[in-house]
Structure 1
Amino acid sequence: MEITFEKVTHSYDVNSPVANLGLDDVSLKIQDKKFTAIVGQTGSGKSTLVRHINALLKPTSGTITVGKRVITPETNNKNLKPLRKDVGMVFQFPESQLFEETVEKDIMFGPMNFGATQEEAKAAAEEMIKLVGMDTDYLQKSPFDLSGGQMRRVAIAGVLASRPETIILDEPTAGLDPVGRREIMDLFKGLNEDGRTIILITHNMDDVADYADEMAVMNHGKLVGSGKPFDVFNNQTLLDNDWLTLPKSAQFAQDLAKKGFAFSKLPITVTQLASEIKQQVR
């Protein structure tokens, strides 16, 4: 589903002395079946932005169009279940949302809440536990007897079990070791390649460079940059204003440039950096 923000403003604590803008006149198009990263410093409006996509927050002004569904300030909470089935959200530290006595029941909860039969939900639990890299033996275990990384995978399986078309990831690899982070990111990239729209909130610029097709940069509630990661990371205005930090490969390229290497554009991935160095050494 294509997602469009048109002049969206969101104010917290409207009509109070402490009112503040979470979003300020944001217009943005998130393309269908693409992997889009939303980045920015803490408090920049990233989470506020994505919570409008499934109407967890409503705009103070402007409109959000999600497929054929239009969300406006007047949108109420009736009939939002189809939207929230189509747009799944994996919150930061999603394992904190686990509550059932078994892994199977936790994964089954979402599908059954959206109308699946018990048999359909059981089948989904078995399929999704495998998809997140765990054996079906875990289904009968208590989620609270698992490691932190395993709990994270179970929580993700619970979101995927409802088969959302769009998956929003709010810092999904926070607290994971490098291997676990890569496995989780590879999982979502595979889902994207199978036709899902992925929206990633992250502070990890290497993940943006390695996985995203498009990115958007937020600062104090405003959209200050968007486009393909290679172009955005080479936008000097964003860097000069400290609205964006570089991936490690680009930072290393900057260090090499001080020692005589010449880059017309900063490489943003290890592969791009290695290719540039190889050509220059030759």
Structure 2
Amino acid sequence: MTAPPGNLADRPATPADVLGLDAGDPPHDLLSQLLRSVRLSGERMSAYAPPRTFSIGFAQAGSLHLIEEGEVTVRIDASTHVEQVSRGDVVLLPRGDAHHIGDTAERGAPEAARWLCGTFTIGDPQASHLLSSLPAMIILRGGGGPALEGLDVARRMLLVEMQSPSQGSAVMVARILDLIFIQILRAWAAGPDPEPNWLAGALDPQIGPALSAIHRDPGHEWTVEDLARACCLSRSAFAERFAARVGKPPATYLAHVRLDAAIGLLRDTTHPIALIAKSVGYTSEPAFSRAFKHHYGMPPARWRRDMRSR
């Protein structure tokens, strides 16, 4: 874990351009900001209708499964836990964990299963803490509600493009997958007792403004008092609610965001290390290098050399 700065106030940086954010985003639309920074995009869609007894492995890639008929089991390869899902259920694996989908033969003669599977690509794997803080598997059970009604519309659009492909169908499928991914994240985070992470914080009306401020200007000399004021909370109430919703204190979260911003600048620019350190909110190059090495296991200059030699 990145060691948080000694205090939240280091040095101001240029504002939203550190992360390339669009100043036209609606206020506090953190989900749009973060998905843009991760550069997640839908890739392709496939239909599965295997024999009644089966086990199909899916490699490490962001995956979405829309269960059309029957019942199947889903198991993350690194875990022994098995989830059973059925018609109308939606399964999202946002972190790209390798997994298997199989029949339910242990429950008797399984009904023939049929489902759609979509995959996603992550354009910026360095934004690791954004994805790693999400559950390995998110399941929305079929049963109605506005969220699933919207997903059903998207599913029907996918079927049209898959059954009658025409010019532009590949792009249509990719964009619909993007929409489904966002709909699932929204519905999961708005549900009862979501796990603490940035998404739960982003959708919390009392914490969302603080996260949005941090991501829009990670190099600003933020203090807990500043962020609490933006959320109309006392310092203690804000710190407690932030940790409960996000899963880490404000200073630790800020440190992660600053280092993510630094990764982008190291990769995409030729700026000197000292300038990057200042841009993302560190008072000195040595302080930045220590924090960077603690998190990534090597100094920023070496990380940049290794990245460019690949």
TM-score when scaled to structure 2?
A: 0.24
Q: Which of the pair has the greater relative contact order for Cα pairs under 8 Å at 6+ separation?
A: 2
Kindly indicate which of the two structures has a greater share of residues assigned to strand: 1
* Larger-gyration structure (1/2): 2
Q: Which has the higher helix share?
A: 2
